[in-house]
Homo-oligomer: A and B are copies of this chain.
Amino acid sequence: MVIGIDMGGTSTKIGIVDEQGRVIKKTSVKTTLYPVFTDYVDALYTALLPVINEVGGMQAIKGIGAGAPNGNFYTGNIEHAANLPWKGIVPFGKLMSEKFGLPCTVTNDANAAALGEMTYGAAKGMKNFIMITLGTGVGSGVVINGQLVYGHDGFAGELGHVIMDRQHGRPCGCGRKGCLETYCSATGVATTAKELLKKDATPSLLRNVEWDKITSKDVFDAAMQGDELAKEVFEFTGKTLGEAFADFVAFSAPEAIILFGGLAQAGDLILKPIRESMEANLLSIWKGKVKLIFSQLPDDDAAILGAASLAV
């Protein structure tokens, strides 16, 4: 058995995963409660110890895998994560290893998701694929020759930050303009909706939602009710993703691109425009040849499974 840790800005979800890829025990810790990092590690230990004892004690556990924002696979450190309580560089892997007496492997959340998909999900048996996580941001994990791509420094696979519009790009949290993430994250979807609402007076169910509170969920709900403006938002989001995916294929010629996360829940509403746009933009040698599929990891446990697969 292995331990999978999914560290988020608000809460940290922890699971014990058996050899069949089932999450057999779960617990959690509130990330924000521990401004001192060693206290956080202690809290993880305190939360896990009773659970570990229930499954046969520490000797039954092979290792720990952790997905963390800005987690670096090479060093085990979390480096300058904007949404965590700890500033600078935190030696997460090292402290966990010492505390638990177990090997602890760290990477970022999107990379963990890619590994999870390869170990337990839709990418089983695939040697070349790209995982795209559509959530608050747009993340990615790239697998080539059966290996996750970490690059020279451990930070490869920031595909949410390729530039889609060099002339009039939306400002991005990274300080630049026109990143894929500004169009295709949950926030990007809400922004697109507001831009379309502002453009003219087209009637839309979204006009009933308080302006500042429009979310991608509202857009999804409206689209499901046939709202034309909301459907146009998904068309635009899918078109932009498809254009980006065509460029990604030119880089690594993957067997598949796998979609994961909140926006991927939108099903055909997002998949159809992505596919059309990707096919229209692919070089002819790849037309009709790259699979576009949704993650097959169970929603609730996906991040834990992804992290656990690091330790497998």
Give the total of A residues in contact with B, Cβ under 8 Å: 44
User: Is A254 an interface residue, CB under 8 A from the partner?
Assistant: yes
Q: Which single member of B149, B255, B283, B285 contacts A176 (CB below 8 Å)?
A: B283
User: Is A145 an interface residue, CB under 8 A from the partner?
Assistant: yes
User: Is A208 an interface residue, CB under 8 A from the partner?
Assistant: no
Q: Given the complex, which residues of B lie within 8 Å of A165, measured CB to CB?
A: 166
Q: Given the complex, which residues of B lie within 8 Å of A283, measured CB to CB?
A: 158, 161, 174, 176
**CB pair A156 B281 closer than 8 Å:** no
Per-position binary interface string of chain A over residues 272-287, scored 1 when its CB falls under 8 Å from any chain B CB and 0 otherwise? 0000000001011110
CB distance from A146 to the nearest CB of B (A): 10
Question: Bound complex: CA of A159 vs CA of B80, how far in Å?
Answer: 31
User: Is A162 an interface residue, CB under 8 A from the partner?
Assistant: yes
**CB pair A159 B289 closer than 8 Å:** no
Residues of chain A at the chain B interface (Cβ within 8 Å): 80, 127-128, 142, 144-145, 147, 149-159, 161-167, 174-176, 243, 246-248, 250-255, 281, 283-286, 289
Closest 8 CB pairs of A and B: A151-B253, A156-B253, A152-B255, A162-B247, A158-B250, A128-B152, A156-B252, A161-B250
